[in-house]
Structure formats: structure tokens, C-alpha cells
Amino acid sequence: MFCLVCMTCGRTCADMGAASCPHDGGFLDVHYDSAEIPLRDDLPGIWRYAARLPLTDPAHIVSLGEGDTPLLRSGRLGADIGLPQLYFKNEGLNPTGSYKDRIASVGITSLRQQGLNAWATVSSGNAGAALSAYGAQAGADGYVFTLERAPRAKIAQIIAYGPRIMSVRGMGYDPKIDAETWENARKICEINNWLMLITARRYSPQSMEGAKTIAYEVCQQLKGAAPDVVYVPVGGGGLLSSIWKGFREWRAAGQIKRLPRMVAIQPQGCDPLAQAWREQRAIKPLDDCASAVSGIILTAPPDGDLVLSDLRESGGWALSIADEITYQAQAELASGEGLFVEPAAAITWAAVKADLAAGRLTGAEDVVCVLTGIGFKDSKAIGLMTENAPVPLVEAEEILRLEP
């Protein structure tokens, strides 16, 4: 069994649909009766870890086959820079193309458990697509509030699943608009008895439990060991915080002996958390966003405080990467590893190279990059990667005259 406990005051929250502590407004965390994680191979996808997920009855599970994504050892790029033990956790192979499917599966399952029939989210694209797909599977109505400048490919995917979708002017670029959007989404859910499903631990503590299963899988795929360093893209911060929780739980269950260091990466033009880390201060919302890396551009990360704490606890760090370097990394992953990922995922590879050059990595570490989403998610980035690539027109007989 499980319960919600305030991370500030330690009180248990009786309202299982609550987003924050009713006593002090603090973060709520999901606690379980036992530290053990017996595997349920009879359940689909991430639900084999049901003992450490907020599930009351397997009959409520909504699954499209999420999880079990490959952990691929680098074939070329790692060796090229002197990092032979480099791995890529390819989350783009989830059903809708991103790690958000893990969260959506748990979130829509929670909706069923609470007897609700509608949900709402604030999303830059991937979460909206994931929740819309799983919501369609469950027959639940959905409402998506997205960025005014969200990539059209992501919006098209959301539209295909059939929810109501609206873009919010200024969201993602103005912290006041961000805060107002989240608060109004919370209120409309309260008024209509919808479940608010935002992929941040501050707002959706139960559904975010799905993301921690990435850590479980990584340890299993490394034959019962944790990596030395894990690189995670950070927008709102919930993914890194959830993965760190997963590693801590896996160790508490006796499955690993040590924990990895966590690294948070943000785009240089929208990096409130990385700035706070460098300057050893609290996070301050940015006035604007100058980055185009969709999926990780938030001026005020809702789980930022948790990430700063997790970085300190793990002995990790944060850094910022310029957009042009991120786009270069995206192209390198495609041509060098056969991994076509969105820029928000490729930023991890760019960060690994930067840290090796800066001496933060020695080259002897086992390093895992979490590749959060598939490359088809961002058509603009695809254009940047391919617009100048020549495709000559040849006659059929010319094929035989090609030289290696």
C-alpha cells in the first residue's frame, strides 16, 4: 500500500488526489509500506514494478506498452572522445515517442482509481501527447494547454488523439503567465472534478512515480549495478528528481550498493536552475526565454528546488549548453550512433562532451545519457539538421559509376 506524505512537515495527506500538502503547501511524496520491490512479470511494461507504484488494483492499469526501453552502449561516439563506457537510455521508443508515457500510464491509471473521467494538463508537447494517447485508451476526456510557440509536429500528434487543445499566449516565455496558467489549470480541475496531470512532482506526485522506473531499468540493464554518472535534461525538473528517487529506492531494496551522481542540463538561453547552481543560490524565475530547445524551456521550473537538493545529495552538478551546440549534438547522435532524438534529448550528449573537456569526467566512468524523446517530435530541428544536405538527381545508369 501507499500514502502521500509532505516532504516538509512529514504529515500524511488523506486526500489521494491532492497536489500539495494541505497544512503547509509543501511537496507531497508517495511513500510505500515496504522497501522491497518484488517484480510482477504478469503485468505490462513499467507495471512489473507495481509494488513501488501507486496502484490499488491491477484492473485499473492503463498501458500501451511503455517502459523496457533499450540501454545502448555507444558504438562510436564514446570511444571517439575517450569515454568507452557511455550508454544511451533511448526513451524515444516508448509508445508516443517520449519518457512521458511512463508518467501518463500512472496518471491515467490514477484517474481510473479515483473514479474520474476527465483530465487536464499544461504541456509543451510531449506530455500532452502521452496523456492524450493514454486518455484515449481509457475513454477519458482531456484538455491540453500548451505553448504558443510549441513545435507543430508535437501539436499535430496531440490533435490526432482527440483532446481539446489550446495554446496560451506567452506561456513558456513569461514566468507570470506560466504561474497563472498552472494556477488556472488547477482551479478548473477543482471546479469540474478533473484530474490535474502536470509532469511535475509539485503538481502530480502520483503520476510522476512512473518516471522513476527509468532508474530501475537502468540498474537491471547494467546487471545489478548503478552507473557512475547520469545526465538528464531539465526543464521543470521532475524527470531528474524522479529518477534520483528511483535510484535511492533501488538501493533501499538492496538491489545496488551505491548511487550515481546526477547531472542536470539546461539550454543556455533558458537555464534558471543551472544559474542558481553556479551561483549557489535559490532559483530565480527568468524574465524571458532565449532558447528554442522545445520541451525544456521553462522560466520557473516547478521542481527546481528538488533538483538542487538532489544534485547536492548525489554529488552531481548542473550546466548549460548553447542551442547551436545542442543541434550539433543531435546531428552527431543520428550519424554517429543511429539515434534520431529531439534536441531536448541530444543536449545530454553535448553536456557529456563539455564535461569531459572541462575535466569533470575522467573517461573511466560508466555514464548514462537519458534520451528523452524521438527526433520526429520537432520538425523545425529536423529542418536545421537537413536543410543544407545535398540530394543530387542522377540517371539510373550513373549508379554503377559511383565511387566509394
User: Residues 95-114: pLDDT tens digits?
Assistant: 999 999 999 999 999 999 99
Q: So what's the pLDDT on residue 73?
A: 98
108 within some domain:
no
Q: 64: which 3 cell numbers?
A: 500501451
Give the number of domains in the chain.
Answer: 1
Q: Does the structure show a pLDDT above 80 at 175?
A: no
Q: So what's the pLDDT on residue 105?
A: 98
Q: Does the structure show a pLDDT above 80 at 172?
A: no
Q: Distance between CA atoms of 71 and 197, rounded to whole angstroms?
A: 28
Do β-strands 141-147 and 164-168 pair in parallel, antiparallel, or remain unpaired?
parallel
Task: Identify which has the larger pLDDT, 59 or 19.
Answer: 59
200 within some domain:
no
Predicted confidence band of residue 238 (pLDDT cuts 50, 70, 90): very high
Q: Distance between CA atoms of 56 and 256, rounded to whole angstroms?
A: 27
**What is the pLDDT averaged over residues 50-69?**
97
Predicted confidence band of residue 385 (pLDDT cuts 50, 70, 90): confident
**What is the pLDDT averaged over residues 59-68?**
97
234 within some domain:
yes
Q: Whole-model pTM?
A: 0.94
47 within some domain:
no
Q: Percentage of residues in the chain with pLDDT exceeding 70?
A: 100
Q: Percentage of residues in the chain with pLDDT exceeding 90?
A: 79
Q: 154: which 3 cell numbers?
A: 508535437
**What is the pLDDT averaged over residues 235-261?**
97
Q: So what's the pLDDT on residue 151?
A: 73
Q: Does the structure show a pLDDT above 90 at 170?
A: no
**What is the pLDDT averaged over residues 227-233?**
98
45 within some domain:
no
Predicted confidence band of residue 152 (pLDDT cuts 50, 70, 90): confident
Predicted confidence band of residue 29 (pLDDT cuts 50, 70, 90): very high
Q: So what's the pLDDT on residue 374?
A: 95
Q: So what's the pLDDT on residue 402?
A: 92
**What is the pLDDT averaged over residues 76-82?**
97
Which residues span the domain enclosing 363?
71-97+207-386
Q: So what's the pLDDT on residue 271?
A: 97
Q: So what's the pLDDT on residue 205?
A: 94
Please report where in the chains the cell 536552475 appears, as a residue: 273
Q: Does the structure show a pLDDT above 80 at 377?
A: no
Kindly report which listed range (21-25, 70-74, 155-159, 171-175) carries the lowest average pLDDT score.
Answer: 171-175
State residue 302 phi and psi, 5-degree precision. Answer: -65, -30
Residue positions counted in the chain: 404
Q: So what's the pLDDT on residue 84?
A: 97
Q: 312: which 3 cell numbers?
A: 547536492
Q: So what's the pLDDT on residue 124?
A: 77
CA angle 173, 306, 346 (to 5 degrees): 60
111 within some domain:
no
381 within some domain:
yes
Quote the DSSP letter at residue 365.
S
Q: Does the structure show a pLDDT above 80 at 51?
A: yes
Question: What is the average pLDDT value for the chain, to the nearest integer?
Answer: 94
Which domain CATH number covers 328? Answer: 3.40.50.1100
Residues forming beta bridges with residue 245, ordered by sequence position: none
33 within some domain:
no
Predicted confidence band of residue 184 (pLDDT cuts 50, 70, 90): very high
**What is the pLDDT averaged over residues 8-29?**
89
